[in-house]
Amino acid sequence: MPQNSPAGETRTALVRRARRINRVLAETYPDARCELDFDNPFELLVVTVLSAQTTDRRVNAVRPTLFAAYPDAAAMAAADRDHLEQIVGPLGFFRAKTESLLKLSAALVEHHGGEVPGRLDDLVKLPGVGRKTANVVLGNAFDVPGITVDTHFGRLVRRFGWTEQTDPVKVEHEIGALFPKRDWTMLSHHLIWHGRRRCHARTPACGACPVARWCPSYGEGPTDPEESALLVRTEGRA
C-alpha cells in the first residue's frame, strides 16, 4: 500500500476511499470537462499538443485564428511555416510547436487519410503524441475511457495515497485498477479541476477542501477556512 495511505488500510478500503473522493469531487465540480476548446478530434489533438508549457486559456485564444487558416490536417500539413509560427507565437516555444504541428499533420495525411485515429496504439505513433495526449483525445473526442496523467493528476493521486508511483504509465495503470473503466475520463477531469482550483502544488487550500476528511495529506497547506478560501480559484489557470 502507498506509504501515505491511512495506517492499516486494506486494498478494499483504499478502493472505497478513492471512489468516495471521486464522488465528492464530481459533486463539487459538476461542470468538470476538458478546458481546451475544440469542435472535432483534429482540433482537440492539435490544441492538446499546443497546451504543453502554456495555459489552456492562451491556447483557446489562438484557436479560432489557427483553425480558420488551417481547418484540417491536409491544410495544416501544407501550411506556410512563417505564418503558422506567427499564429502560435503567443504560446511560447513557437518554432518547436510549429514543427510539431507540421509533422503531426503530415503523418495524419500520410498514414490515416487526414483523420485522427481512435486507437491508443495509433495515436502514440504520431509525432509529438504521448499517452497523456492520446488519452485526452480518446476520452473527450471518441468517448473511449482514458486516464490523463498530467502534473495535477499525478500530484493529487500521490497526496491522496492512491499510489506512490511517479512514472505516468505506472500511475495510469495503478489508478485505473481502482475505478471502473467507464469512470476514467471523468475521474481525470475531477482531479485536474481540483488540482487547478484547490489542491495547488505549493500551497493547497486544505481548509477549503471538500475531500479533506479522506485525504492523508491534509495539513500540507493552511487548514484555517478563511485563509484557505483566499487560495481557492474559481477557474483553472493551467
State which residues of the chain have pLDDT below 70: 1-4, 236-238
Kindly state whether residues 118 and 187 are assigned to the same domain.
no
- The CA–CA distances, whole Å, from 86 to 4, 58, 74, 100, 102 equal 47, 14, 19, 15, 14
Kindly state whether residues 52 and 83 are assigned to the same domain.
yes
CATH of residue 54: 1.10.340.30
CA gap 46, 66 in Å, rounded: 10
Q: Which of 72, 150, 181, 183 is an active site residue?
A: 150
Domain-located, residue 35: no
Kindly state whether residues 63 and 119 are assigned to the same domain.
yes
Nearest partner of 163 among 178, 148, 150, 174, judged by Cα: 174
Final residue in a domain of this structure, among 90, 116, 141: 141
Kindly report the number of other CB atoms within 10 A of residue 160's CB atom. 24
133 contacts 123 by C-beta, under 8 angstroms: yes
Q: What is the pLDDT of residues 221-232, one digit of tens each?
A: 999 999 999 999
Q: What is the pLDDT of residues 22-44, one digit of tens each?
A: 999 999 999 999 999 999 999 99
Domain-located, residue 118: yes
136 contacts 148 by C-beta, under 8 angstroms: yes
> Catalytic annotation on 170?
no
Kindly state whether residues 155 and 211 are assigned to the same domain.
yes
Final residue in a domain of this structure, among 116, 141, 166: 141
Domain-located, residue 6: no
Kindly state whether residues 153 and 136 are assigned to the same domain.
no
DSSP collapsed to 3 states, 188-205: HHHHHHHHHHCCCCCCCC
22 contacts 178 by C-beta, under 8 angstroms: no
Kindly state whether residues 130 and 168 are assigned to the same domain.
no
State the total domains in the chain: 2
Q: Which of 132, 143, 167, 224 is an active site residue?
A: 132
User: What was the pLDDT predicted at 99?
Assistant: 97
User: What was the pLDDT predicted at 7?
Assistant: 75
Provide the domain limits for residue 169: 11-30+147-229
Amino acid identity of 152? H
Final residue in a domain of this structure, among 90, 114, 141: 141
CATH of residue 222: 1.10.1670.10
> Catalytic annotation on 167?
no
Kindly state whether residues 179 and 126 are assigned to the same domain.
no
pTM over 0.75: yes
CA gap 199, 191 in Å, rounded: 9
